[in-house]
Structure 1
Amino acid sequence: MSVADLVRNGGTLSLDFINTVEPRTGPVSREWLTGCADLVVWARSGGLLDEAAADALLRAAAARPAEARTAFGRAIDLREGLFRLFAAIVDGATPAAADLEVLRRAFADAARHGRLVARAGGFAWDFGDADSLDRPWWPVAVSAMELLTHGPLDRIKQCPTDEGCSWLFIDATKNRSRRWCSMDDCGSRIKARRQTDRRRAAGRTSPA
């Protein structure tokens, strides 16, 4: 399965970016981003780049491998800083100053290279004129800053770390009842596992 097929169930771009490795806590079983090319494909599949821009960035990454590695390193540093930042908020803690600084610097870089354009119903950041290998993660920084400053921070949750993938997501349900990243994935797997455990426990306690 390609990174282009990765399920995006975080509810916002920045959380989807955080969720490109699983699980988010404990030993990693799957890293979806292994290089600059993966990052470009992820951005293209999410509509952050059109086909022409993605192809141009893939050619640039192949032609300038050292620059591509540096840009990819910045993207991963941003991803990990954002995870720590929003996971702290989920836990009711104050994010570390260092992680807030990671976001501030990333947003400042994005703002320096982007432009504000009129869109239906308002305005948005546009990076269409940029050819930098950092371009795929600039919209992520904008999304994360928007989430941090405008919320809804109280609706960010984390898939159970003991049984699930520990991905972060926005609980948009009316009664705030969402527990897992996806009912079709971790939710159904956890429920099936618990049902099996209950059956085994019942079998052990049944009279001979």
Structure 2
Amino acid sequence: MNDATLARNGGALCLDYINTVAPRTGPVDLEWLNTYPDLVRWARDGDLVDDAAASGLLRAAAARPAAARVAFRTAIDLREGLYRLFAAIVDNTAPADADLEVLRHAFATATRHGRLLPHAGGFGWNWDAAAGTEPDLLDRPWWPVAASAMELLTHGPLDRIKQCPTDGGCSWLFLDATRNRSRRWCSMDDCGGHNKARRQTDQRREARRRTRV
């Protein structure tokens, strides 16, 4: 996993998962998911699995490296399919059928291993945390992601999904929870702050140029 700090400011688990590479358009500068162990560490850092489950997944991956490579490729294919799906929604275009099918298949796989249990005044998915011998149990890190994406797609709020500007930003996706829907950047500590500093530098440079003239 990349040593650079990974912000989780998407506002939804599935968007945070999409935002594990930067920028989202153009050449990649930072990639946080390079190997299957990176995927497990990301899930552990986000409390999607506990220490015991993470250790079990890493042991299973070490014992079955070919299966782990397939599971990792599936995880990245899911990430990219979700990005295209939700980016299309941001652009007010219809998502591709293939990307909808990626989510449908992922959600079906995840829910096959999940249980619906009472949770916080309602119901939520509880995921089997054990890393067993079935190959698809190596997919455990992204099961909650698939559930999050299906929840966002079917219940919204889709009209609050935005994308950090590509001109000076990372193109990450996020939910705008501001009352007046004024959020523009993934974070003012990152892209927003850097863009503001750039504008101020340009303004000072322009002011000095005018003074000399």
Check whether TM > 0.5: yes
The letter for the 2-side match of 1:78 is: L
Give the aligned partner of residue 123 of structure 1.
Answer: 123
Q: Structure 1 122/206 Cα, relative in aligned 2: closer, same or farther at 3 Å?
A: same
- The answer to whether structure 1 residue 137 and structure 2 residue 142 are counterparts is yes
SS in 2 for 1:183: coil
Alignment of 1:65-144 (within 5 A): 65-131=65-131, 132-144=137-149
**Aligned equivalents of 2:112, 2:3: Cα separation in 1:** 28
The letter for the 1-side match of 2:13 is: L
Give the aligned partner of residue 24 of structure 1.
Answer: 24
**Aligned equivalents of 1:118, 1:190: Cα separation in 2:** 44
Once the 2 structures are TM-superposed, how far is the Cα of residue 162 of structure 1 from its aligned partner? Answer: 1.1
CA RMSD of the aligned region, Å?
1.5
**Aligned equivalents of 2:114, 2:3: Cα separation in 1:** 26
Q: Deviations over 1:116-162 (max 9, x none)?
A: 11223111111125521100001100000000000000000001111
Q: Deviations over 1:16-75 (max 9, x none)?
A: 000000000010001000011010010011111011001110111111111000000000
SS in 2 for 1:184: coil
- The answer to whether structure 1 residue 11 and structure 2 residue 11 are counterparts is yes
SS in 2 for 1:125: strand
Give the aligned partner of residue 193 of structure 1.
Answer: 198
Is the contact between residue 3 and residue 42 of structure 1 (CA under 8 Å) also seen in structure 2?
no
Once the 2 structures are TM-superposed, how far is the Cα of residue 201 of structure 1 from its aligned partner? Answer: 2.2
- The answer to whether structure 1 residue 151 and structure 2 residue 156 are counterparts is yes
Stretches of structure 1 that go unaligned for 5 or more consecutive residues are none
**Aligned equivalents of 1:59, 1:4: Cα separation in 2:** 26
Give the aligned partner of residue 43 of structure 1.
Answer: 43
Report the identity percentage.
73
**Aligned equivalents of 2:60, 2:139: Cα separation in 1:** 11
**Aligned equivalents of 2:33, 2:45: Cα separation in 1:** 13
**Aligned equivalents of 2:70, 2:4: Cα separation in 1:** 22
- The answer to whether structure 1 residue 171 and structure 2 residue 185 are counterparts is no
Give the aligned partner of residue 134 of structure 2.
Answer: none
Q: Structure 1 51/130 Cα, relative in aligned 2: closer, same or farther at 3 Å?
A: closer
Q: How many residues align?
A: 208
**Aligned equivalents of 2:207, 2:97: Cα separation in 1:** 50
**Aligned equivalents of 2:2, 2:50: Cα separation in 1:** 18
Q: Structure 1 106/38 Cα, relative in aligned 2: closer, same or farther at 3 Å?
A: same
